[in-house]
């Protein structure tokens, strides 16, 4: 014989036990019905949090991208300024070296005159120095021409070479002029 639910949960001798069982079953049913709803709330919270995190990440990426673009713009502007300054510095240096080369030409001419005024022995002694100075001056002119076409990578190298040539030429010219002056005085 099958028993009904009511018969199962209605003990004959204890009405309070039956009430307690009904309450427990009712609570269990409510709990079972509420669990999916509670799970839905947690899922909604997780979805909200994921959406917030995604929006936050996208916003951060957009900010990073904008900052990167701004930094690149600043770097490009700095490069332009550097190039302009570099070009001005280059022109200023080349002008200064050309002036020094012109001074060297004047000193070479002055040396040539002093050598002509000195005696034969002094002329023979000073002529190789004059030839060497003229060769160095030609070399300086070629290096100055090369410097005009030099890339920015090689600029400092070329600049140092020209500076060294100018300094060497000046020193040699001053010594040669002193010797030629002394030789010219002895010839008189």
Domain-located, residue 140:
yes
Domain-located, residue 22:
no
The whole-model pTM stands at: 0.53
Structure tokens, 161: 């070479």
Per the listing, tokens 């040669």 go with: 176
Band of pLDDT at residue 14, cut at 50, 70 and 90? low
Rounded to whole angstroms, the Cα distance separating 92 from 147 reads 13
Torsion of CA 81, 83, 85, 91, to 10 degrees: -160
What's the whole-number average pLDDT of the chain?
78
Res 58 pLDDT > 70: yes
Domain-located, residue 59:
yes
Per the listing, tokens 């550097």 go with: 82
Domain-located, residue 23:
no
**Backbone phi, psi, residue 3, to 5°:** -105, 145
Domain-located, residue 18:
no
Band of pLDDT at residue 64, cut at 50, 70 and 90? confident
Rounded to whole angstroms, the Cα distance separating 20 from 36 reads 25
Domain-located, residue 15:
no
Domain-located, residue 7:
no
Residue 139 sits in which domain range? Answer: 28-187
| pLDDT tens digit sequence for 25-39 | 776 667 666 666 556
| pLDDT tens digit sequence for 82-124 | 666 577 888 898 899 899 999 999 988 988 888 888 778 878 8
Determine the 3-state secondary structure of 188 from DSSP. Answer: coil
* Number of compact structural domains in the chain: 1
């Amino acid at each position: 014989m099958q028993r009904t639910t009511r018969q199962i949960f209605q003990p004959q001798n204890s009405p309070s036990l039956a009430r307690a069982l009904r309450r427990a079953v009712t609570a269990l049913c409510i709990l079972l019905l509420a669990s999916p709803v509670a799970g839905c709330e947690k899922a909604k919270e997780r979805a909200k949090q994921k959406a917030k995190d995604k929006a936050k990440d996208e916003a951060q990426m957009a900010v990073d991208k904008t900052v990167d673009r701004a930094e690149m713009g600043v770097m490009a502007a700095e490069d332009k300024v550097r190039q302009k300054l570099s070009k001005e510095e280059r022109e200023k240096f080349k002008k200064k070296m050309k002036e020094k080369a012109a001074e060297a030409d004047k000193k070479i001419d002055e040396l040539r005159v002093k050598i002509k005024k000195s005696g034969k022995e002094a002329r023979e002694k000073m002529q190789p120095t004059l030839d060497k100075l003229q060769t160095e001056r030609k070399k300086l002119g070629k290096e100055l021409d090369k410097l005009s076409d030099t890339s920015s990578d090689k600029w400092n190298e070329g600049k140092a070479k020209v500076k060294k040539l100018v300094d060497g030429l000046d020193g040699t010219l001053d010594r040669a002029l002193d010797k030629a002056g002394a030789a010219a005085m002895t010839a008189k």
